[in-house]
């Protein structure tokens, strides 16, 4: 049955056939559209084997096999073996129909579309149209199949159906899988949308259909049809592919236009266009960039941070894991290069030994047992009281819960690192004694050398240095520049940064936060282990008593070395190699055992044990209240219930109990905190300071800072404002200790003895380890002690002139102090051993400028002596500097130039004072006239103030006259020497 459709459109004037002279305007034209009539050649003619001409066609049986919707669809692989049986079964079912000589010629499966083509042939009578015959055949086959139960679908949940193929089927296996969208190309003129709809609508509901759009030359025009489901698209594609369509239009006169044939080509269209995600992301950067940043942060937090925490613990803290030891021994150490530096790095920079463990003595640089003790910090018998007090205070800090930050400051070579190594080893001995263990367990330590951070020239170098020292890995440093480029691009796209790039401070905070988490986990694991041991062995869970008795020192101590000989420690107490190398010593790989310093511990321990044996009855009572026994065998080979420890003074003489859980806390050591070459990287110290304060406040770890001076300690105090810092100061060696060191070193060169004159020159050199080491090297090169000391002084003069006054005027402007300020301090220290800090600070030329004094201390020109945290005195930066100052002051030309500069500045200051007094006197004169009094009469407040100003002007004028006379004399001195005096 034909369907009549009215197509709306405007046509030009049409000439009717009967009246050529009249033109009738038509606004509508009638079109008769018949889908079946428009389809051409639904069957084909062919000859069979007997030579009879027959018609051939095809049926498409759907859902007898699973359709393949993607490359990874495994259903097709599972049912592949069933395809041949299904095809044979379909052929058997269709072959049972007998009409018009119906005969199944072949069956062909389409695994991708989940169907089977049934190709058949028939011979209709001459009076029967082949199109009508094939419809009758379809109805008869359908009736026969339904009468026998139909065709089962592949999933067994329903029946399959078949449809007549009207086109030329194309069975292909391209990687274009079925979708609900079909692209229909026109090989010929365009087919009207109404006709195309009528052709494909019987196979399923259509949700949308596009119109043909202009295409480049040589490209077929097409439309896109979207079905509600994939099944109708499969049917339409297999039943209509290659169909020929003739669009016949009837004019208003009833005549038919010439038929035009168009071949339709059906292909599946992917629902998602290629690169549509990329295109959408590039067109919506305001939405995409924040989401990507959030996802990257989430991935880093959930995946990489636990890995980084593991490597931090494996490198610095928990290298006794079996899996770590296995990989280090069997994989990483056998490679020619170290893939994972965090595991088993043997470099000096990393500070890990071959075993991978980092003990307390390793991390701080304990003396190797193979080398004789030649350091000032290794002399147990030659220690001075200042060092003893610092050692005791540091030990008591480590055996208590962390409440503040300990700062060890002192000049280079003063043995800061060595003392810290000894104290940490003592805490390990205490832990072993309290746990009845013969082997001391090293205290877990992590060392951060700030000097290495300062040396990095770039931002990425700074972050990499910190990550390397903490064991933070993996680290994607190459992403830093990429993130910066993304932010620059986002500024051009959305007008603001996307937030991918981060500053150096933020990256350092991220590394330190992960490190803090690893430290917290370490302490928690150790505490859990200790609690389990206590429950398993309650008899061995006695606390350790730190006995409050004074430290006993001996005049000499001998230490056994490997070859069996003995060496007097007092004869070699200063290690000159420690000069300026606190950071390198801290990170130097040493032996894993802490027995290297056990001799010094035992020397002190014997005195402490004797003190325990002779404790008073009052102390015995305190032990009884604590649930401990104060009696026991303290002789050699006996074991007292009270474990001995290094004695320390405590308020009121109350003993302190060593909690094993406190000893389980890691120790964080910040070395080189006051490096000179920090430069513009000083802001990074604020990040480290804040991190150190958070560790202490959260009771995560003990924090110990090693610094050459107290210049940067204020950053720590600012980060921890509520609690005072524990400041431990180490100075130079006393004259006797320094002389003993030099005598021991020189005696090792041969039969050379120091004369009284040589000893006097050594005393002038002082106890700075760096200067003593330089002296020994010069004597080894053939110089006498006198010539070596004078050479050191001469070198110090040149270095001091450059450091304090600069090479020229432009260089002096960049100094953080004025030349007259440096000169007045140097001139006074050349006469006196120390100066009053308050007098220097409030007199000219400082006038309260404390920053200049602190800067001079940071440059090691001077050292500021403190008492209870307050500065009280000023001393030379090095002992030898007093003689260097004297050499500078005795230089007539240099002294005259500096005195002229100083006097000119003083004259200018006094003139400014006189000018201010004159201005105030003019004001007072006006005030005095108004109240009826005269400033010369001296009556009233104005007169009193005027008298004070006049006296002040008189004093300033007298100073100006004296300074000008001195300047004239100094200029005469310079003129006689042919030197031009400096300008005022």
| Cβ proximity of 656 and 400 under 8 Å | yes
Residue 537: how many CB atoms within 10 A of its CB?
Answer: 11
Rg of the chain in Å (alpha carbons)? 49
| Cβ proximity of 701 and 523 under 8 Å | yes
Residue 329: C-alpha distances to residues 345, 354, 444, 869 (Å): 12, 10, 22, 50
CA distance 910 to 904: 10
* Residue predicted with more confidence, 258 or 341: 258
Among the listed residues 314, 318, 210, the one whose alpha carbon sits nearest the alpha carbon of residue 269: 210
pLDDT at 747 over 70: yes
Among the listed residues 800, 850, 798, 848, the one whose alpha carbon sits nearest the alpha carbon of residue 827: 800
Q: What SS3 class is residue 891?
A: coil
CA distance 554 to 599: 13
- Tell me the β-bridge partners of 669: 447, 704
Q: What SS3 class is residue 12?
A: coil
Q: Which of 28-32, 109-113, 678-682 has the lowest mean pLDDT?
A: 28-32
The segment with the largest mean pLDDT, out of 259-263, 349-353, 476-480, is 259-263
CA distance 661 to 399: 10
Segment 107-122 shows an average pLDDT of 90
Q: Where does the pLDDT of residue 602 fall: very low under 50, low under 70, confident under 90, or very high at 90 and above?
A: very low
The predicted structure's pLDDT at residue 633: 37
DSSP 75-109: HHHHTTTHHHHHHHHHHHHHTT--STT-EEEEEEE
pLDDT at 588 over 50: no
Phi, psi (deg, nearest 5) at residue 930: -70, -35
Among the listed residues 346, 361, 452, 357, the one whose alpha carbon sits nearest the alpha carbon of residue 671: 452
- Whether residue 845 is preceded by a cis peptide bond, meaning omega within 30 degrees of 0, is yes
The predicted structure's pLDDT at residue 374: 41
Phi, psi (deg, nearest 5) at residue 52: -85, 135
The predicted structure's pLDDT at residue 398: 92
Q: Which two tokens stand for residue 9?
A: 């459109």
What percent of the chain has pLDDT above 90?
A: 29
Q: What SS3 class is residue 560?
A: strand
**H or E stretch covering 310:** helix 305-312
| Ramachandran sector of residue 46 (left: φ over 0; alpha: ψ -120 to 50; beta: rest) | beta
Mean of per-residue pLDDT scores for the chain:
74
The tens digit of pLDDT for each residue in 229-256 reads 999 999 999 999 999 888 665 444 445 5
CA distance 711 to 685: 12
* Residue predicted with more confidence, 343 or 542: 542
CA distance 363 to 428: 13
Residue 209: C-alpha distances to residues 4, 77, 929, 959 (Å): 21, 34, 106, 105
* Residue predicted with more confidence, 553 or 767: 767
What percent of the chain has pLDDT above 70?
A: 68
Q: Which of 119-133, 741-755, 815-829 has the lowest mean pLDDT?
A: 741-755
Q: Which two tokens stand for residue 880?
A: 């030898």
Q: What SS3 class is residue 638?
A: coil
The predicted structure's pLDDT at residue 498: 60
Q: What SS3 class is residue 782?
A: coil
Q: Where does the pLDDT of residue 140 fall: very low under 50, low under 70, confident under 90, or very high at 90 and above?
A: very high
The tens digit of pLDDT for each residue in 945-959 reads 888 999 999 999 999
Q: Where does the pLDDT of residue 494 fall: very low under 50, low under 70, confident under 90, or very high at 90 and above?
A: low
Among the listed residues 698, 699, 705, 704, the one whose alpha carbon sits nearest the alpha carbon of residue 675: 705
Residue 984: C-alpha distances to residues 814, 903, 907, 967 (Å): 20, 9, 10, 10
Q: Which two tokens stand for residue 894?
A: 């240099």
Q: What SS3 class is residue 669?
A: strand
Token look-up 């200051």 returns: 909
The predicted structure's pLDDT at residue 627: 35
Segment 427-449 shows an average pLDDT of 74
Running DSSP on this structure, what letter comes out for residue 367?
P
Q: Which of 428-442, 715-729, 791-805, 875-889 has the lowest mean pLDDT?
A: 428-442
Among the listed residues 773, 817, 819, 771, the one whose alpha carbon sits nearest the alpha carbon of residue 796: 771
Alpha helices in 159-204 (DSSP H): 193-200
pLDDT at 307 over 60: yes
| Cβ proximity of 211 and 223 under 8 Å | yes
* Residue predicted with more confidence, 199 or 318: 199
The tens digit of pLDDT for each residue in 526-540 reads 888 888 887 887 765
Size of the chain in residues:
984
The tens digit of pLDDT for each residue in 502-526 reads 788 889 999 999 999 999 988 888 8
- Tell me the β-bridge partners of 658: 544
Which residues are CB-contacts of 981 (< 8 A; sequence separation ≥ 6)?
896, 897, 900, 970, 971, 974, 975
Among the listed residues 423, 858, 420, the one whose alpha carbon sits nearest the alpha carbon of residue 671: 420
- Whether residue 74 is preceded by a cis peptide bond, meaning omega within 30 degrees of 0, is no
pLDDT at 594 over 50: no
pLDDT at 17 over 60: no
Q: Where does the pLDDT of residue 346 fall: very low under 50, low under 70, confident under 90, or very high at 90 and above?
A: very low
Token look-up 């990393």 returns: 350
* Residue predicted with more confidence, 598 or 414: 414
The tens digit of pLDDT for each residue in 176-190 reads 899 999 999 999 898
Residue 593: how many CB atoms within 10 A of its CB?
Answer: 17
CA distance 592 to 425: 11
Among the listed residues 112, 199, 193, 127, the one whose alpha carbon sits nearest the alpha carbon of residue 164: 199
Among the listed residues 111, 121, 119, 225, the one whose alpha carbon sits nearest the alpha carbon of residue 177: 111
CA distance 342 to 326: 14
The predicted structure's pLDDT at residue 583: 39
Cα angle: 739, vertex 741, 747; to 5 degrees? 100
Segment 626-655 shows an average pLDDT of 35
- Tell me the β-bridge partners of 237: none
CA distance 722 to 718: 9
pLDDT at 202 over 80: yes
**H or E stretch covering 268:** strand 261-268
The predicted structure's pLDDT at residue 348: 35
CA distance 48 to 402: 102
Which residues are CB-contacts of 143 (< 8 A; sequence separation ≥ 6)?
none
Q: Where does the pLDDT of residue 545 fall: very low under 50, low under 70, confident under 90, or very high at 90 and above?
A: low
């Amino acid at each position: 049955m034909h369907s009549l459709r009215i197509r709306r459109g405007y046509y030009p004037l049409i000439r009717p056939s009967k009246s050529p002279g009249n033109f009738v305007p038509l606004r509508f034209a009638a079109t008769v559209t018949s889908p079946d009539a428009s389809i051409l050649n639904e069957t084909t003619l062919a000859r069979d084997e007997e030579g009879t001409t027959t018609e051939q066609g095809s049926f498409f049986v759907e859902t007898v096999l699973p359709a393949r919707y993607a490359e990874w669809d495994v259903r097709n692989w599972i049912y592949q073996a069933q395809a041949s049986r299904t095809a044979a079964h379909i052929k058997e079912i269709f072959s049972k129909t007998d009409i018009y000589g119906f005969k199944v010629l072949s069956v062909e499966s389409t695994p991708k579309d989940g169907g089977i083509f049934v190709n058949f042939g028939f011979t209709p009578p001459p009076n029967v149209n082949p199109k009508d015959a094939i419809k009758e055949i379809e109805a008869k086959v359908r009736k026969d199949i339904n009468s026998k139960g139909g065709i089962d679908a592949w999933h067994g949940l329903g029946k399959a159906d078949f449809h007549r193929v009207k086109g030329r089927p194309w069975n292909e296996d391209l990687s274009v899988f079925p979708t609900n969208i079909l692209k229909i190309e026109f090989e010929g003129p365009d087919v009207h949308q109404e006709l195309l709809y009528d052709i494909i609508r019987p196979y399923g509901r259509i949700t949308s259909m596009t119109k043909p759009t202009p295409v480049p030359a040589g490209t077929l025009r097409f439309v896109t049809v979207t079905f509600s489901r994939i099944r109708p698209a499969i049917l339409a594609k297999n039943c209509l592919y290659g169909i020929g369509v003739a669009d016949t239009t009837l004019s208003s006169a009833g005549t038919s236009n010439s038929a035009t044939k168009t071949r339709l080509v059906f292909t599946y269209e992917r629902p998602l266009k290629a690169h549509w995600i990329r295109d959408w992301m590039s067109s919506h950067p305001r939405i995409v960039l924040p989401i990507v940043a959030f996802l990257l942060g989430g991935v880093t937090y959930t995946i990489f941070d636990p890995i980084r925490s593991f490597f931090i613990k494996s490198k610095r803290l928990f290298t006794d894991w079996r899996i770590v030891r296995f990989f280090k021994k069997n994989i990483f150490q056998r490679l020619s290069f170290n893939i994972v530096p965090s595991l088993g790095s043997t470099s000096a920079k990393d500070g890990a030994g071959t075993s991978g463990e980092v003990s307390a003595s390793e991390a701080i640089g304990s003396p190797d047992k193979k080398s004789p003790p030649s350091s000032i910090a290794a002399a147990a018998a030659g220690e001075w009281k200042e060092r003893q007090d610092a050692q005791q205070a540091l030990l008591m800090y480590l055996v208590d819960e962390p409440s503040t930050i300990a700062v060890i400051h002192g000049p280079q070579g003063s043995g800061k690192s060595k003392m810290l190594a000894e104290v940490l080893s003592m805490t390990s001995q205490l832990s072993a004694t309290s746990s009845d263990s013969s082997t001391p367990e090293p205290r877990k330590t992590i060392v951060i050398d700030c000097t290495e951070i300062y040396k990095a020239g770039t931002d990425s170098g700074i972050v990499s240095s910190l990550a390397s020292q903490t064991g933070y890995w993996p680290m994607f440093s190459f992403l830093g520049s990429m993130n910066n480029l993304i932010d620059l691009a986002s500024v051009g796209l959305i007008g603001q940064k996307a937030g991918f790039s981060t500053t150096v401070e933020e990256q350092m905070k991220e590394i330190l936060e992960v490190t803090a988490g690893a430290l917290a986990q370490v302490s928690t694991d150790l505490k859990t282990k200790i609690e389990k041991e206590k429950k398993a062995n309650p008899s061995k869970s006695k606390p350790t008593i730190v006995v409050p008795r004074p430290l006993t020192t001996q005049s000499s101590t001998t230490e056994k070395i490997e070859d069996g000989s003995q060496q007097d420690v007092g004869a070699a107490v200063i290690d000159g190699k420690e000069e300026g190398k606190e950071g390198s010593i801290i990170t130097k790989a040493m032996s894993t055992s802490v027995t290297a310093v056990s001799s010094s511990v035992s020397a002190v321990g014997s005195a402490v044990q004797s003190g325990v044996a002779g404790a008073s009855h009052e102390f015995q009572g305190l032990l009884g209240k604590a649930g401990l026994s104060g009696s026991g065998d303290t002789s050699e080979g006996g074991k007292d219930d009270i474990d001995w420890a290094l004695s320390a003074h405590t308020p009121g003489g109350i003993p302190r109990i060593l909690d094993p859980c406190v000893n389980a806390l890691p120790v964080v050591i910040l070395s080189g905190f006051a490096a000179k070459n920090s430069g513009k990287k000083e802001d990074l110290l604020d990040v480290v300071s804040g991190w150190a304060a958070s560790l202490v406040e959260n009771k995560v770890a003990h924090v110990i800072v090693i610094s050459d001076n107290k210049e940067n300690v204020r950053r720590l105090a600012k980060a921890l404002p509520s609690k005072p810092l524990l400041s431990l100061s180490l100075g130079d060696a006393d004259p006797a200790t320094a002389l003993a060191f030099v005598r021991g070193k020189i005696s090792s060169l041969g039969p050379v003895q120091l004369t009284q004159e040589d000893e006097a020159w050594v005393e002038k050199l002082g106890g700075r380890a760096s200067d003593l080491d330089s002296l020994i090297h010069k004597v080894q090169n053939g110089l006498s002690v006198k010539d070596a000391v004078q050479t050191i002084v001469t070198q110090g003069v040149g270095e001091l002139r450059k450091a304090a006054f600069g090479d020229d005027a432009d260089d002096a402007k960049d100094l953080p102090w004025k030349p007259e300020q440096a000169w007045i301090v140097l001139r006074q220290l050349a006469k006196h051993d120390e100066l009053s800090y308050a007098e220097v600070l409030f007199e000219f030329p400082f006038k309260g400028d404390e920053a200049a004094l602190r800067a001079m201390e940071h440059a090691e020109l001077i050292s500021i002596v403190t008492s209870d945290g307050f500065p009280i005195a000023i001393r030379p930066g090095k002992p030898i500097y007093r003689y260097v100052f004297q050499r500078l002051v005795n230089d007539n030309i240099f002294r005259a130039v500096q005195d002229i500069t100083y006097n000119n500045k003083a004259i200018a200051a006094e003139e400014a004072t006189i000018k201010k007094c004159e201005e105030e006197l003019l004001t007072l004169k006006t005030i005095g006239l108004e109240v009826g009094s005269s400033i010369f009469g001296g009556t009233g407040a104005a007169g009193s103030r005027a008298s004070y100003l006049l006296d002040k002007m008189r004093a300033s004028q007298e100073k100006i006259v004296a300074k000008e006379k001195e300047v004239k004399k100094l200029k005469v001195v310079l003129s006689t020497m042919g030197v031009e005096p400096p300008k005022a």
